[in-house]
């Protein structure tokens, strides 16, 4: 069985070379890491991002880690 998610990531590696700059590439890598973390924690990445972007303007900096895509401990 072929792992298509792994194949898509491998195909996308060269595309990140054209992010515009090294700084933009680092930002893209950070976002991809957050999406991967969300997937690993069974959180829908698009829903997590939408929710986070809605909360962010009024969210206190001291609690910013609570917005990361981790499941709360059971």
Reported as a single tens digit per residue, the pLDDT across 18-33 is: 677 778 888 888 999 9
The span from the CA of 27 to the CA of 13, in Å, is 14
Reported as a single tens digit per residue, the pLDDT across 36-61 is: 999 999 999 999 999 999 999 999 99
CA quadruple 13, 19, 20, 26: dihedral, nearest 10: -90
The span from the CA of 67 to the CA of 50, in Å, is 11
Q: Which two tokens stand for residue 7?
A: 């194949």
Segment 13-21 shows an average pLDDT of: 65
Query: Who wins on pLDDT, 12 or 48?
Result: 48
Tokens 């298509």 — which residue? Answer: 4
Instruction: Indicate the pTM of the whole model.
Output: 0.67
């Amino acid at each position: 069985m072929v792992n298509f998610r792994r194949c898509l990531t491998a195909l996308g590696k060269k595309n990140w070379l054209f992010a515009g700059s090294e700084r933009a590439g680092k930002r893209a890598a950070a976002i991809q890491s957050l999406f991967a973390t969300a997937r690993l924690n069974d959180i829908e990445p698009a829903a997590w991002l939408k929710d986070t972007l809605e909360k962010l303007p009024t969210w206190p900096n001291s609690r910013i880690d609570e917005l990361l895509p981790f499941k709360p401990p059971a």
